[in-house]
């Protein structure tokens, strides 16, 4: 019986021995240097996330400020667009011809009001697009309503200005409406045929 007891005790001691070894191994891994290194890595990661978040917040703040500036700058765009159409109709009515002296006096007074409206719009940043007959057609500031052909004038130039164009600060409020000088396709083809025939005649 005593021998059996001794065997059981030795067996239990053997099973406990590896547990102790594992514990000592774990303790060896958790050295102060390792802990410090781990903390430093975590701190570096936290710092990186913090600075990234800070940069994103700063960029967001800049975008918001830019959007607010843009909104303030072009706040009157829609109103100016509506007023321009009304003022032009009013202006056309003022330019009517009449021999009635009373009506002439009324028209003179209304022209003064018209000038006041235009000056107020100018102060807010509205300006007329400088479009003249003979200028080269600029699609960024002009809209071609129709095309005609005058052989005495250069192609792709303005023949007539139908409606004034307006800018609101650096934006197009309304493009100038124009008729441009464009050679008809048939005439272009005939000229191309004539030119090719002339070249062939020279070669012969």
Residues 164-183: tens digit of each pLDDT: 899 998 899 999 999 999 98
Q: Residue 170: inside a domain, yes or no?
A: yes
Residue 152 CA: distances (Å) to CA of 5, 131, 135? 128, 20, 14
Q: Looking at the structure, tell me whether residues 134 and 186 fall in a common domain.
A: yes
Closest C-alpha among 134, 126, 140, 123 to residue 176? 140
Q: Is the pLDDT score of 58 beyond 70?
A: yes
Q: Is the pLDDT score of 8 beyond 50?
A: no
Boundary (domain end) residue, out of 124, 140, 156: 124
Q: Residue 64: inside a domain, yes or no?
A: no
Higher pLDDT, 95 or 21: 95
Q: Looking at the structure, tell me whether residues 115 and 134 fall in a common domain.
A: no
Q: What is the mean pLDDT of the chain?
A: 78
pTM, to two decimals: 0.57
Q: Looking at the structure, tell me whether residues 146 and 178 fall in a common domain.
A: yes
Q: Residue 38: inside a domain, yes or no?
A: no
Q: Residue 62: inside a domain, yes or no?
A: no
Higher pLDDT, 3 or 87: 87
Mean pLDDT of 47-53: 88
Determine the Cα–Cα distance for residues 190 and 179; give it in Å rounded to an integer. 24
- DSSP 3-state assignment of 110? helix
Q: Looking at the structure, tell me whether residues 109 and 159 fall in a common domain.
A: no
* The predicted structure's pLDDT at residue 17: 47
Q: Looking at the structure, tell me whether residues 174 and 133 fall in a common domain.
A: yes
* The predicted structure's pLDDT at residue 188: 53
Provide the domain limits for residue 96.
77-124
Q: Residue 54: inside a domain, yes or no?
A: no
High-pLDDT (> 90) share of the chain, %: 19
Q: Looking at the structure, tell me whether residues 135 and 177 fall in a common domain.
A: yes
How many domains is the chain partitioned into structurally? 2
> Where are the strands (E) in the chain, listed by range?
126-128, 142-148, 158-163, 166-168, 171-174, 176-181
Q: Residue 89: inside a domain, yes or no?
A: yes
Q: Looking at the structure, tell me whether residues 105 and 146 fall in a common domain.
A: no
Q: Is the pLDDT score of 34 beyond 80?
A: no
């Amino acid at each position: 019986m005593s021998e059996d007891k001794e065997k059981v005790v030795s067996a239990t001691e053997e099973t406990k021995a590896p547990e102790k070894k594992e514990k000592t191994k774990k303790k060896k891994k958790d050295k102060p240097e390792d802990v410090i290194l781990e903390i430093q890595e975590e701190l570096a990661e936290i710092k990186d996330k913090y600075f990234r978040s800070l940069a994103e917040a700063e960029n967001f703040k800049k975008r918001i400020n830019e959007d607010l500036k843009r909104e303030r700058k072009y706040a009157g765009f829609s109103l100016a667009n509506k007023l321009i159409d009304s003022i032009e109709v009013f202006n056309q009515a003022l330019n009517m011809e009449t021999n009635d002296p009373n009506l002439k006096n009324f028209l003179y007074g209304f022209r003064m009001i018209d000038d006041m409206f235009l000056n107020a719009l100018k102060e807010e940043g509205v300006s007329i697009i400088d479009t003249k007959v003979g200028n080269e057609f600029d699609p960024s500031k002009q809209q071609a309503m129709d095309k005609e052909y005058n052989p005495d004038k250069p192609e792709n130039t303005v023949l007539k200005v139908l409606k004034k164009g307006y800018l609101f600060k650096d934006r197009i409020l309304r493009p100038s409406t124009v008729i441009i000088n464009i050679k008809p396709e048939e005439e272009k083809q005939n000229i191309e045929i004539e030119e090719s025939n002339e070249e062939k005649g020279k070669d012969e």
